[in-house]
Structure 1
Amino acid sequence: MTNQPQPMDADWLVVHPNPKVPDFVLPAGSVDAHCHVFGPSAQFPYAPERKYTPGDQGKDKLFALRDHLGFARNVIVQATCHGKDNRAVMDACRTAGDLARGIASVGADITRAELAEMHEAGIRGVRFNFVKRLVDATPPEVFLGIADKIQEFGWSTVVYFEAADLERLVPFLNTLPGIIVVDHMGRPDVRKGVDHPDFQRFIDLMANNARIWSKVTCPERLTVAGPPYDDVIPFAQAIVEAFPDRVLWGTDWPHPNLKSHMPDDGALVDFIPKIARTPEQQRKLLVDNPMRLYWAQ
């Protein structure tokens, strides 16, 4: 029996209906290295413990956006609204074949057989979420156990936290094995400026641990000024300049939990040359780095 679609939250913003064709022409083989699929909930129900209910935005819409913007591949990140049920991401990866990889959310009881099945489907990492408004707290030892299990498969971990939590998380992050990818630059408070100790702590973390990468993503979440997100440029630019071989970029489509405005994904692509200012930086950010991390295994 097919489940009924679940209605989205009343304050959920509708995805931009007609994103522009970007003015910036992406390098051949570019990867949208941070995006999501939501449902469709009749086929892939949202988790009972979810903190929000989005509108359905499935794989067909994601792949149409990929082609419209000029990307060649996607890295699809498990959204918290699906909890630890990774079927929607795995289904999208299987449909796309070599054109997509996935990041899963798993529990401590995950088995080797389950990880092997995920790997076959295209999963290449797990995500640990520390944002309290999105997930319930998980003991660090649980995350460490999961991180140990995935090393056999050559996977990386994605960690999502906010700047205020970084200081307490530094010892834990330095304990994690393998490559660690931080979502959205650790969500800095852009009102404080790049020289503020909070952001410099993140720069120091990357400088002192060569296994830590950063997604220079989501100016629409970090901005105070709004589009075209000029207040976010110095932060992303600083990371790209300092660590060109350890940065990734993605749209974050379909933009979970945004309450202020819904970005035009074409305009987000036009943000890229403002933060990666040379062709070499752009190719590393969009092609070389994601292919090395997610397509080498």
Structure 2
Amino acid sequence: MRNTPLSNLVYFKISQENPEPSLDGFYIFEKRNPDIKKYIDNTKQIKNYLITIRMLLDKKEKKDVVDKYFRLLANSLNEFSNCSEFSCFINACDNVLGFVKNDLSLLKEIAKRYFKNRIFNEGVPEEWIQAILDSNSARKKGTCGENKLLYFLERAGFKRINTWNDFNKCEKCVVRFSEIFNLDAARKNLDINIKTHKQNKRLDLIIKDKEKIYLLEAKHLNTSGGGQDKQISELIELLSLSEKNKNVSYISFLDGNYSNVLLGEGRVMGKLKTQRRDINKFLKKKPNNYWVNTAGFKKLLENLKTVF
């Protein structure tokens, strides 16, 4: 016997009543970086080249001698350089490491500005390097939401699939959007439209439960703002979609601290008020679609399970 999914408003209510935790293990990177020594060694190397270059410039050494060390400095800039003070200064000069590395004239100009405007400290404390790595941890979160949902899906009996052939054969499975499972392929294989405004729109997961198909987009937001408002708009647009085939549903998934703000019931104004209004409007107009946080998604999975 199969449990029947409840009304989308029920899952929305469950999401409202069960806010996201302030600390979610799926998004925490608390372990010491295993490559910390490589970052430290590279930062020391960059500092040593900069110290040598500054000394040579102060002594008015020959250009070819100075250029030799600039080339060595350029060659030392790599994937382990983004914790060095000089790399951070490159960002402050409205440039990026990879571009500066390959333009010796630009590297010289930035180095001269660095010598003039920054204080040298020869030490490279491990805790300082780790702190910079920690501050960059947001960059690692790109697929954390997908991985979190895949974890719940696999525990609920959904099999990870990599080809359309296997997807068509399997009754209970999930796939990531990819080069194989892209929008055009989904439209063709599932006979659906996915009429988003963004032509090259990329969703996150396709979930299959026998005849039912769920197209899911996941976002993780902790603050509001211009970029975040755009992401909320994308989730609301997904909620507004519909297909002729009523076995196809869309799921807008949002976790993080901003989910709690958005799902709150206190009086608000401006953009947040509009977002709440639109979510409620489309949940009522599109009963096949869902807006959920972690608790709402887990409850939806619970109701999709086959009970023996």
TM-score (norm 2): 0.32
The structure whose Rg is larger is 2
Instruction: Give the structure with the larger helix fraction.
Output: 2
Highest relative contact order (Cα 8 Å, sep 6+), 1 or 2?
A: 2
TM-score (norm 1): 0.33
